[in-house]
């Protein structure tokens, strides 16, 4: 049995992770962490996830949440993620990170800590999205700059970062496949007299509304034809299932920084 600590248990994904762990015959919930201001503190994590009592109390104490864990799954906020990872590093507990909105300072801290323990970071835990990444790399390399790339993402009204981490990763992959950096070719907004579209540019557009779980579309617009690669998530549980798959995979791995491509071997 694999003991799993869920970090960020009061959020949408945290609750999905608790449900996923409870459904899996090989996983057991050993700890549940929430912020110091969360209304869920002191409650049973199973009740928070509406799965019925599981005998694990939600705590703001990282040491307590990680005690006895074989692996931790983090879906929190960037600042909390680094603190959680530091606490896990003290116990040599591998960590799967699904938190988005990580800046370069966060990534640098994660890279540093990954020298001491295995860490898997993925802006999207969906198995389908991670296969989409591979398709984008192939299509972007095969279709030259005569084909304009536009990336459109849509999420629920409460998402706080934009573009989504997944959309940015798609942009990085598409740009890299053409020997460019997204920072040099990305266009994040258009308004007014923008002039002609620059050759080789990659546009990123954002929609926010309702309870949209997550949609990502990549359009290759050429002359006389277009190609579209799309992924639509209809249930957040798909991300939780992917995170659980990653958690199983990372146990026993050597220290290092991993991604879902390693899990899927693509």
The CATH number of residue 149's host domain is 3.30.360.10
Do residues 18 and 48 lie in contact, with contact meaning Cβ atoms separated by under 8 Å? yes
Total structural domains within the chain: 2
Tell me the pLDDT band of 266, cut-offs 50, 70 and 90. Answer: low
- Answer yes or no: do 107 and 172 share one domain: no
Whether residue 105 sits in one domain with residue 41: yes
Structural domain range at position 153: 127-233
Looking at the annotation, which residues are catalytic? 155, 159
Same domain, 9 and 121: yes
Angle between the 165-177 and 127-142 helix axes, to the nearest 10 degrees?
Answer: 30
Token pair in block for residue 259: 């991604």
The first and second tokens of residue 238, run together, are 């798909």
Burial class, 14, CB count within 10 angstroms (exposed 0-12 / middle 13-18 / buried 19+): buried
The answer to whether residues 187 and 223 belong to one domain is: yes
Q: 47 with 156, same domain? A: no
What local confidence, expressed as pLDDT, does residue 100 receive?
85
Mean pLDDT of 12-36: 96
**Looking at residue 218, what DSSP letter applies?**
E
Same domain? For 211 and 150 the reply is yes
**Could you give the percent of the chain with pLDDT greater than 90?**
92
- Do residues 100 and 132 share a domain? no
Q: What is the pLDDT of residues 184-234, one digit of tens each?
A: 999 999 999 999 999 999 999 999 999 999 999 999 999 999 999 999 999
CATH code for the domain in which residue 49 is found: 3.40.50.720
Report residue 157's pLDDT band, with 50, 70 and 90 as the boundaries: very high
Q: Do 24 and 9 share a structural domain? A: yes
Quick: pLDDT tens for 240-249: 999 999 999 9
Q: Say yes or no to pLDDT of 254 above 80.
A: yes
Of 125, 118, 122, 127, the closest CA to residue 250 belongs to: 118
Residues 36 and 50 placed together within one structural domain of the fold: yes
- For 128-198, where are the E strands, in sequence order? 148-155, 186-187
Whether 134 and 121 map to the same domain: the answer is: no
pLDDT of residue 124: 85
Question: Does one domain contain both 229 and 137?
Answer: yes
pLDDT at 35 over 70: yes
From CA 107, how far away is CA 73, in angstroms rounded? 17
Q: Is the pLDDT of residue 168 over 90?
A: yes
Distance CA 168, CA 148 (A): 17
> Between 21 and 79, whose confidence is greater?
21
155-169: average pLDDT: 93
Residues 120 and 248 in one domain: yes
Which pair of structure tokens corresponds to residue 103? 């800046």
pLDDT band at 52 (very low <50, low <70, confident <90, very high): very high
Residues 266, 249: Cα–Cα separation, whole Å: 14
């Amino acid at each position: 049995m694999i003991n799993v600590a869920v970090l960020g248990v009061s959020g949408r994904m945290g609750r999905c992770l608790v449900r996923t762990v409870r459904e899996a015959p090989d996983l057991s919930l050993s700890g549940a962490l929430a912020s110091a201001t969360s209304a869920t503190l002191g409650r049973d994590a199973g009740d928070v996830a509406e799965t019925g009592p599981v005998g694990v109390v939600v705590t703001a104490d990282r040491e307590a949440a990680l005690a006895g864990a074989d692996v931790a799954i983090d879906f929190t906020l960037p600042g909390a993620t680094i603190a959680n990872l530091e606490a896990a590093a003290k116990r040599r507990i591998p960590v799967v990170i699904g938190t988005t909105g990580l800046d370069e300072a966060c990534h640098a801290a994660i890279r540093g800590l990954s020298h001491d323990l295995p860490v898997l970071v993925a802006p999207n835990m969906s198995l389908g999205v991670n296969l989409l990444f591979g398709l984008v790399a192939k299509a972007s390399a095969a279709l030259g700059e005569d084909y304009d790339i536009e990336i459109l993402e849509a999420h629920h009204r409460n998402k706080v970062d934009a573009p989504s981490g997944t959309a940015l990763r798609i942009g990085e992959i598409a740009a890299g496949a053409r020997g460019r950096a997204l920072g040099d070719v990305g266009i994040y907004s258009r308004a007014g007299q923008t002039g002609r579209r620059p050759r080789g540019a990659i546009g990123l557009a954002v929609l926010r509304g309702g309870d949209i779980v997550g949609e990502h579309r990549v359009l290759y617009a050429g002359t006389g034809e277009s190609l579209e690669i799309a992924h639509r998530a209809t249930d957040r549980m798909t991300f939780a299932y992917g995170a659980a798959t990653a958690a199983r995979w990372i146990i026993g791995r050597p220290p290092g920084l991993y991604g879902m491509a390693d899990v899927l071997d693509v």
